[in-house]
Structure 1
Amino acid sequence: MEYDFVPMPDRQPLIWPDNKRLAIILTINMEYWDPVQASDKPYYPGGPGIVGGNLPGNVYDNPNFTWREYGQRVGVWRMLDLFDAEGVQASCTMNAKMAVERRAVVDAAKERGWEIVPHNYVQDELLTDYMFDETKERDVIRRTLDIYEQTVGKPAKGWLSSSLRSTLNTIDILAEEGLYFITDLLNDDQPYMVRTRSGNPMVSVSYTSEVNDFSFLRQGLTVETGFAMFKEQFDWLYEESATSGRFMNIGLHPHVIGQPFRIRALRDFIRYAKGFEGVWFANREEIADWYLKTHESHITPKA
């Protein structure tokens, strides 16, 4: 996996379909955590917990497990109602165990025709556990893709790793498995091409750890300051997009933003963004497909 360092001033203007200015990707992360792990090492939670302290993996952590399960039982349905009411789509990510253990949530996204992106096998397992064993890493990816295809009904096209913890081999493996966009790289507001050892194409469509509902927990944001974060990101990118297209991703977790005292921040932002011309509520596949056809007019490939 390799990509060129091309600073923003060295690129040509990025032109979105229909001359849109700013693509907004609203990511709903549909994630399942095992109640316990087969290890006495500290449990890796894949995000902030609601109760602090590290328990061994083989010890059940009731408050954190059931808090996350709130998102599956209640929070995600509140989010779906909001998206339906506002008439916008989500780009959903799904780990394989979510399809096995919480199929109703996945089916609800499928019924709406929303994008679903594979998101590892289970949330508490990381690809970096297999940094030095590519065979085992490929096995996790293939098991994930098999369940994805059985559940979604078609092969996957992109990928998001649990906690964004991919290895130097991940993108090459994904390209060899027929995928063509990756979300793990956090380094841009525009798509770009990644070179792979197979020569198969790979588009980076960045996720974000900053404009993310985890900021409500990490930074103590309220509804008003959370909305202000979303709005500030949007306003600056929208201004920049007058000369070259940008995308804006918001990472959303049903057990966080799906809480009644937080969700208004998301609703108010969607309504705010809908008031601007040239805004495209997009999914990653749409962006990757468009960029595969147009990338040479944006960033000239190096010899």
Structure 2
Amino acid sequence: MLSRVGIRNTTKDTMATQFWPDGAQLAVTVSMQFEAGGQPISGAGGPITEPVLPGFPDLGQNSFYEYGAREGVPRILDLLDKHAIAMTSFMIGDAVRRHPDVAAEIVARGHEAGAHGRRWERQYQLSRADEAAWIASSVQAIEEATGTRPTGYNNYWIRPGVNTLEVLQEQGFQYHIDDLSADEPFLQRINGEPFATVPYSVHLNDIASFDFPGFSPADYEQQLVDEFDQLYSEGAHRRTMMVIGLHERLSGHASRVRVLDRILSRLRERGDAWWARKDQIAQWTLDHPDTATWVDRDPAPISGLPGRSH
């Protein structure tokens, strides 16, 4: 059946299906980008709006990114401990090499380490061989710092290339998040085998919220509560997932953590929501292929969407 445009839903009886573990009505997943040191030494965006002159390192702007590692990560980890939430942290390889102790602490506190490329660069323009080496480099950095091998991937600015999913699967990844097309995870056949997409949500990303003129932390609080309530309601008859996307340098400020604390306190009152890491959501989807949503797309160069290369 086609439950939504372009989606093939294999569920035989959607009303009888257990959409999530223990009959949960909604899955909620939190992610935090760990990017401090992965940005270019000059030209990265940030709160200092006057551009630095060509040829000079942007020392002030770079200190804004460093704040994420020094202050933001510890504050967010403490917040998640308070609410007993395990999240996924997508880590840039160069950020991990610069702050291996921070990466190790994230994993030691029970969170997933996902890969986020070697540094900020347009991965989609790399050749297949260069992209494979690029991804392997980020994996190596995470393994050396944390002792874990990532199974999930996030591209720079959510832009995979036409070969990315095939390269990821060849390197043992189980899922990626660089797709904005759904409010639930889904499966595709990549290299002939199931590969999971755990879609991202830009409109709930802190960059889109905190950095938008006229949009206050209080607005963000209401937006997240409304999103939760709507998806929870829909979750009575279909599989739904809510994604909360954070950056350590943005959401890790004291006032914003205070807002997030209020939000999580309200959302955690619903006992039948499954708060999960993205690898757990991907694994659940892969373990239940008969009731998962499958997406069959033309090759990426034709469809213009993430998928197989040919």
Q: TM-score range by the shorter chain?
A: 0.7 to 0.9
1:193 lines up with 2:187 in the alignment: yes
Q: Report what 2:30 is aligned to.
A: 26
Gaps of 5+ in 1: none
How many Å apart are 1:61 and its aligned residue?
1.4
Contact 1:20 1:245 survives alignment (8 Å):
no
- Give the SS at the match of 1:25: strand
- Give the SS at the match of 2:69: helix
Alignment of 1:44-123 (within 5 A): 45=44, 48-55=45-52, 58-122=55-119
Task: Decide which moves more: 52-61 or 154-163.
Answer: 52-61
Q: Report what 1:267 is aligned to.
A: 261
- Give the SS at the match of 2:221: helix
**Match for residue 122 of structure 2 among 95, 111, 126:** 126
Task: Decide which moves more: 71-80 or 144-153.
Answer: 144-153
Identity of aligned residues (%): 25
Q: Report what 1:181 is aligned to.
A: 175
Contact 2:185 2:293 survives alignment (8 Å):
no
- Give the SS at the match of 1:287: helix
Q: Report what 1:144 is aligned to.
A: 138
Matching residue's letter, 1:7:
V
Matching residue's letter, 1:165:
R
How many Å apart are 1:9 and its aligned residue?
8.2
- Give the SS at the match of 1:295: coil
Q: Distance in 1 between matches of 2:122 and 2:130?
A: 11
**Match for residue 196 of structure 2 among 174, 197, 203:** 203
TM-score, length-scaled by structure 2: 0.85
Q: 1:251 to 1:7 in 2, by over 3 A?
A: same
How many Å apart are 1:155 and its aligned residue?
2.6
Q: Distance in 2 between matches of 1:134 and 1:10?
A: 29
Q: 1:175 to 1:211 in 2, by over 3 A?
A: same
Q: 1:88 to 1:108 in 2, by over 3 A?
A: same
Gaps of 5+ in 2: 297-310
RMSD (CA atoms): 2.3
Task: Decide which moves more: 9-18 or 290-299.
Answer: 9-18
Q: Report what 1:163 is aligned to.
A: 157
Q: Distance in 2 between matches of 1:143 and 1:28?
A: 20
Q: 1:171 to 1:53 in 2, by over 3 A?
A: farther
Q: Distance in 2 between matches of 1:35 and 1:298?
A: 37
How many Å apart are 1:248 and its aligned residue?
0.7
How many Å apart are 1:301 and its aligned residue?
7.7
Q: 1:54 to 1:136 in 2, by over 3 A?
A: farther
Matching residue's letter, 2:167:
I
**How many residues are aligned here?**
288
- Give the SS at the match of 1:229: helix
Contact 1:50 1:63 survives alignment (8 Å):
no
How many Å apart are 1:227 and its aligned residue?
0.5
Alignment of 1:272-283 (within 5 A): 272-283=266-277
Please give the per-residue CA displacement for 1:17-56, whole angstroms capped at 9, x wherever unaligned.
111111111111111335755xxxx83x3xx521225447
**Match for residue 212 of structure 1 among 205, 217, 227:** 205
Matching residue's letter, 1:182:
H
Q: 1:101 to 1:235 in 2, by over 3 A?
A: same
Please give the per-residue CA displacement for 1:159-210, whole angstroms capped at 9, x wherever unaligned.
11122121111111101111110111111111111222x2232100011211
